[in-house]
Structure 1
Amino acid sequence: MRIIISNTSGEPIYEQISTQIKNLIFTGELSEGDALPSIRSLAQELKISVITTKRAYEELEGDGFIETIPSKGSYVSRKNKELMKEKHLKLIEDKLIEVLEEANLLNLSLDDLKDMLQILYDSNK
């Protein structure tokens, strides 16, 4: 498992870890039941505080991505991948609702929004 930390990112380190592990799960690089490095070993590998790594793991566990078994370690959750995907779809919907509310304030048309989304989509590939 390879995690890259950016000190120039505005995102906190624990969120960078959490986001990258979530992405590894979604892409299938980490599968249900796979063991994660211990909190201590990941902290040493990344040269960061154990507290930061612990916070990332707690966030992942709270979101249902991993399960921690005392004295055994942390593992990719056996929860249904579809349930996790639904959570992300709901998050996207919530963000799109915010965008629609802002667009309505500016009287942007649906075509304008589609054009903006297409440009952003194409530039983010």
Structure 2
Amino acid sequence: MNIIISNASSDPIYIQIMNQIRQSILSGELRAGDSLPSIRQLAKDLQVSVITTKRVYEELEKEKLIDSVVGKGCFVSGANKDFIREQRMKRLEEKMIEIIRESKDLSMSQQDLIDHLTLLFEEEQTT
């Protein structure tokens, strides 16, 4: 898991960290049962406050993306596959809305967009 903190970002550090861990879970890079670094280790690795990493883990636990086991650490949750799928679908829809807006800026019709998407989908299946 590679987390990059940007000082140029308008997002607070804990949001940057949380978003990157969430994305790693939702993308499948981190799988159910995978262990996460301890709160202290993550803080040390990222050179941030322990309070910051504690907040990240608490928020991810509220989202049911990770589970904390006293004395053992934090792990990617495997209990809620439907929730993770739903979150991934939500992210996909957000990207699709962005694509729709961009296609409108390019004066593409709905059918042009569908045709283009179909072509790309078919090309992707052959690779």
Task: State if a TM-score over 0.5 links the two structures.
Answer: yes
Q: Aligned pairs, how many?
A: 104
**CA separation in 1, counterparts of 2:71 and 2:13?**
25
- 2:64 and 2:80 in contact (8 A); partners too: no
What secondary structure sits across from 1:67 in the alignment? strand
Shift of 1:14: 0.8
Map 1:1-125 onto structure 2 (within 5 A): 1-87=1-87, 89=89, 115-116=104-105
Say what the alpha-carbon RMSD is for the aligned residues. Answer: 2.8
Runs of at least 4 residues off by over 6 Å? none
What runs of 5+ residues in structure 1 fail to find an aligned partner? 100-110, 120-125
The runs of 5 or more residues in structure 2 that have no matched partner are: 109-127
Evaluate the alpha carbon distance shift between residue 87 and residue 117 of structure 1 in structure 2; reply closer, same or farther with a 3 A threshold.
Answer: farther
Q: What code does the residue aligned with 2:85 have? A: K
Q: TM-score by structure 1 length?
A: 0.70
User: Shift in Å at residue 54 of structure 1?
Assistant: 0.5
Equivalents in 2 of 1:77, 1:50: separation in Å? 22
Cα distance, 1:11–1:72 mapped onto 2, change above 3 Å:
same
Identity of aligned residues (%): 49
The answer (yes or no) to whether the contact 2:24–2:30 under 8 Å persists in 1 is yes
Deviation string 1:42-75 (CA, Å, 9 cap, x unpaired) is: 0000000000000010010000100000111000
Deviates more, 1:63-72 or 1:23-32: 23-32
Paired with 1:14 and 1:64, the residues of 2 have a C-alpha distance of 17
